[in-house]
Amino acid sequence: MISVFSERLQLVIDRLKVDQKDLADSASISAQTITGYLRNGRLPNQKTLAAWVQGYGIDAHWLLTGEGEMFPKAASPAARVCNPVAVRIDELARLLGESGVGELEIMRSAKVMLEGEIAKWTKAQGGYSVREPAPCEAKAAEEPADYPATKQAAGDDTV
């Protein structure tokens, strides 16, 4: 039994192969707060614990006390999805499936969701999304007036 919360939290990070930033984001806290839990003996509040239990399928009793198993035995493999992106896709698929949406439409919805997430992430990193050209990239002319004047060939009467 691991008796120190920081050691259990580090074990969760290692087992789920999630980085501290993703773990922090999943609970709407800063990565610096995670560092405090791991190094300074700080303990998370109820909201943070609930986010991790719900998002990663961790057993709350184990996380708080070290007693029992990291993951509840009754949890389905889907409840153990550990990547935050996979968790969001799983939730989307579950909700749409419960609404009677077919598999192809679920996949299309997941694609649209991922494209939006990629665009947000890329923009937040200072880059450009697939739909947004970088300022230095040439854009296609939108109006004929934007095209440079063409020279008329000798003997060509057409304009």
Helices (H), ranges, 19-132: 20-26, 31-39, 46-56, 60-65, 84-98, 103-124
115-155 per-position pLDDT tens digit: 988 888 888 888 765 555 444 544 444 444 554 555 555 55
Q: Which amino acid is at 118?
A: I
35-94 tens-digit pLDDT: 999 998 888 999 999 999 888 888 888 988 888 888 876 554 445 556 777 778 888 888
Q: Which of 3, 1, 5 is nearest to 39 (CA)?
A: 5
What pTM does this model have?
0.48
Residue 105, pLDDT above cutoff 60: yes
Are 76 and 55 contacting, i.e. CB atoms less than 8 angstroms apart? no
Non-local (6+) Cβ contacts of 54 within 8 A are none
CB-count burial class (<10 Å; 0-12, 13-18, 19+) for 27: buried
- For domain 5-75, which CATH number applies: 1.10.10.10, 3.90.1570.10, 2.40.70.10, 1.10.260.40? 1.10.260.40
The residues spanned by each domain of the chain are 5-75, 84-124
**C-alpha angle with apex 16: 14 to 19, nearest 5 degrees?**
70
Q: Which residues contact 105 (CB under 8 A, 6 or more apart)?
A: 96
